[in-house]
Structure 1
Amino acid sequence: MRADMELQVVASLLRRGRSLDQLSTGLTLLGILFGLAQLLMATVTPICLILSLWMIILGLLQKYWALRVAFDADLFALLAGNKDRTPDLDLALQTLGLQSAKRAGRPWTERRRGALKLLRKQAYLLAAQVLLTLAVILASPWLPFAG
């Protein structure tokens, strides 16, 4: 029963990746707007354009990890009540080409560690995106006129 609860907790943690993804989506859209604003201005600031492009790239990478984290959250929640179906999960993942045969039969502690590592990657990409957003704001040519 303890292991089932651990899987439920991991699934709950992985579902927090959705909040990270939503914030990242907003920052990605902000990066697109900043980039378009740079292109529409009379003078293009190359550094702002480059930073905006990196905001978008990081947002897309984060989106990939968010999809992986959400998939794992669903799998952990599904199998939390019935870990006896782990061989069925491994077979299904292999059939779909999502897992190699040599990774089948891994213990749940290793799977849990890997899933949480994906969540950390997602969070790191979001943190980098936030830092880039601040850099774009500070490098923007209209900032001196704000005060």
Structure 2
Amino acid sequence: MNAGPFEWRAMAAMLAQGRWLRAISLWLLAAALAGLWWSTAPLRTAVLLGSVVAALMQAYYALRVDFDARLLQALAETAPDGEDEAAAARRLDAGLIGLGLLPAARAGRDWAARWRGALGLLRRQAAALLLQWALLVGAFVLDGTWLGRIAGASA
């Protein structure tokens, strides 16, 4: 796989889409917190708390995805002319090891593995957002269902 400034910028742009997921998550978190403020039913409260936990998971992945996006953008902007992908990987690894952000044992991965890892983080961020949304919707659906009445959600 070829990796150079264009590919790094392209991957950074792809990962930057995680910022949209983060923004949506913040709105869903606000709705969950508002629901918790007014909730009197134990089941609905538990489901809303689950949504808040999913929001925290999403925030963790959002931080990691955004860091990777900015890291790839910086790598592209500081690449010397003619630097090959192996030298760029060594430069990136050396910087991360120097900052204590990468264990030396994980250095030397090829770019395909790095792409898979970065996209995996973005997928996990999206999955956490979907879980957050599903739990939030579930909490408010409980209000109008027989399960909600049994659980005291409409009390």
CA RMSD of aligned residues (A): 2.1
After TM superposition, give the deviation of residue 91 of structure 1 in Å: 1.6
- Which segment drifts farther, 17-26 or 78-87? 78-87
* 1:46 pairs with 2:42: yes
Which amino acid in 2 is paired with 1:23?
I
Alpha-carbon separation, structure 2, partners of 1:31 and 1:107: 41
Q: Which of 59, 77, 93 is the matching residue for 1:90?
A: 93
Q: Mind listing any 5+ residue stretches in structure 1 that lack a counterpart?
A: 39-43
Which amino acid in 2 is paired with 1:29?
A
Taking structure 2 as the reference length, what is the TM-score of the superposition?
0.81
Residue number in structure 2 paired with 1:103: 106
Residue number in structure 2 paired with 1:37: 38
* 1:28 pairs with 2:24: no
Which amino acid in 1 is paired with 2:28?
L
Which amino acid in 2 is paired with 1:112?
W
* 1:69 pairs with 2:92: no
After TM superposition, give the deviation of residue 80 of structure 1 in Å: 3.0
Alpha-carbon separation, structure 1, partners of 2:8 and 2:116: 11
Q: Identity of paired residues, percent?
A: 36
Alpha-carbon separation, structure 2, partners of 1:80 and 1:111: 15
Q: Mind listing any 5+ residue stretches in structure 2 that lack a counterpart?
A: 80-84, 150-155
Alpha-carbon separation, structure 1, partners of 2:116 and 2:76: 15
Alpha-carbon separation, structure 2, partners of 1:6 and 1:90: 18
After TM superposition, give the deviation of residue 140 of structure 1 in Å: 2.3
